Structure 1
Amino acid sequence: MSDRPKLDKNLDGKTFREFYYLKEELVDFCRRYGLPTSGGKLEITERIAHFLDTGEVIATKKVQKKSQIIGNITTDTEIEPNFVCSEKHRTFFKEHIGNGFSFNVAFQKWLKSNTGKTYADAITAYYRILEEKKSSKTKIDKQFEYNTYIRDFFADNRDKGLDEAIKCRKYKKQLPGHNRYEKSDLDVLAK
């Protein structure tokens, strides 16, 4: 098994990208070397790789969300710009959809990208999204590598358990290259 290199300033960006590091490790690195720690794992990874290759610290861009005062929401109300899920929104959707309502990722994305449409449109979209989820494999966003790996592992190994999937995932994280499931990852189970 290939040993994962220690994450420090002597590493180059290319080597760094070949291995898996936990977000906590990335944040710790940023604190040690004065890099901003804000953002998601992918953003922090880019920041560290740039620092390792150039020695430059990329400043983060301040994103300021305008807080909107939401009045009474009706089915005719238009979805506001910079939509943010709030308790008022949750209450509205629970009243119209039922207690089983939840802000799933696909629905949140729909709300944020459909400013100006009505909340009646949102309710229709919510039901459509639920139907689509039933009939197709949900796309897992890139930052959720663990979830993607486990799902792909079980799709290929219905006879295996979660402990085996986790053991294969841990093995895979120690190898250079991508962190997606491959049949060869099962080799670690024979050891």
Structure 2
Amino acid sequence: MSDRPDLQKDLDSKIFRSYYYLKEELTTFCRAEGLPVSGGKKELTERIASYLDGGEIIAEKPVARKKSGVGFITDDTPIEPDFVCSQKHRAFFEEKIGKGFSFNVAFQKWLKANTGKTYGQAVDAYYQIREEKKKGGTKIDSQFEYNTYIRDFFAENQGKTLKEAIKCWNYKKSMPGHNRYEQADLEALVL
């Protein structure tokens, strides 16, 4: 098994990009080097790679938060532009869907992409998204490599345990290259 190099300022950016690092490791490095720590894992990775290439610091992108301009929400209320999840929205959806409601990623994307549709249509979309998720039809965003790996592991290895999946994941992320599941990763179970 290959040893992943420590994240240090003299690490080559190509080597850095070829290994998996936790977001916590990325933010610790940024703090130690005086780099901004805001943003998701993708932003942090780009910021660190740029810094390792030549010391250039990619500035944080300012986040502009807008207050919701919608008043009382009904089924016929149109979804406002620049939708932001708020307590008012949560209360509406919990009333319609129940206490099990959550602003999952797929539903948030739907809301932001469907400005002008009604909140009644949003409730229908929520149920549809939930059904697709049950069937395994939802796409996991690229920053959630662990989740994607575990789902793909179980799709190929029914009867294996989560402990075995995690052992294979830990093996995979210690190696250079991509972090997608491959049948060869089962080698970790015999090591």
Is contact 1:20-1:173 (8 Å) kept?
yes
Is this contact kept in 2: 1:65–1:82, CA < 8 A?
no
Shift of 1:160: 1.1
Compute the RMSD of aligned alpha carbons. Answer: 1.5
User: Residue by residue, what CA displacement relative to the aligned partner does 1:82-107 show, whole Å, maximum 9, x if unpaired?
Assistant: 21222221221222233443322211
Distance 1:167 1:87, change over 3 A: same
Check the 8 A contact 2:66/2:84 in 1, yes or no. no
Give the Cα–Cα distance (whole angstroms) in 2 for the partners of residues 129 and 75 of structure 1. 18
State the distance in 2 between where 1:152 and 1:56 align: 37
1:54 is aligned to 54
CA distance in structure 2 between the partners assigned to 1:101 and 1:188 by the alignment: 38
The match for 1:97 is: 97
Give 1:167's aligned residue.
167
SS state of the match for residue 153, structure 1? helix
Within the alignment, does 1:72 sit opposite 2:72 as a pair?
yes
CA deviation vs aligned residue, 1:127-172 (integer Å, no higher than 9, x gap): 3323333445221111111111111111111121111111111111
How far apart are the structure 2 equivalents of 1:41 and 1:146? 13
Name the CA distance, whole Å, in 2 between partners of 1:15 and 1:112.
36
Specify whether residues 148 and 88 from structure 1 end up closer, same or farther in structure 2 by C-alpha distance, changes over 3 A only.
Answer: same
TM-score by length of 2: 0.93
Q: 1-side partners of 2:168 and 2:134: how far apart?
A: 28
Q: How many positions carry a matched residue from both structures? A: 191
What SS is found at the alignment partner of 1:61?
A: coil
Structure 2 unaligned blocks of 5 or more:
none
Structure 1 residues 131-140 or 110-119, which shifts more?
131-140
Return the offset for 1:69.
4.5
Give me the whole-angstrom Cα distance separating, in 1, the residues matched to 2:99 and 2:25. 39
Match of 2:43 in 1: 43
Which residue in 1 is equivalent to 2:84? 84
Paired AA for residue 166 in structure 1: I
Q: CA deviation at 1:32?
A: 1.1
- Give the distance between the partners of 1:149 and 1:133, measured in 2 at CA: 16
Aligned residue runs from structure 1 range 1-191, under 5 A: 1-191=1-191
In 1, are the aligned partners of 2:69 and 2:80 still within 8 Å (CA)? no
List structure 1 segments (4+ residues) > 6 angstroms apart after TM superposition. Answer: none
- Inter-partner Cα distance in structure 2 for 1:106 and 1:57: 32
Contact 1:94 1:100 in 2 (8 A): yes
Q: 1: CA distance between counterparts of 2:94 and 2:57?
A: 45
Greater mean deviation of Cα atoms: 91-100 or 149-158: 91-100
C-alpha displacement at 1:174, in angstroms? 0.8
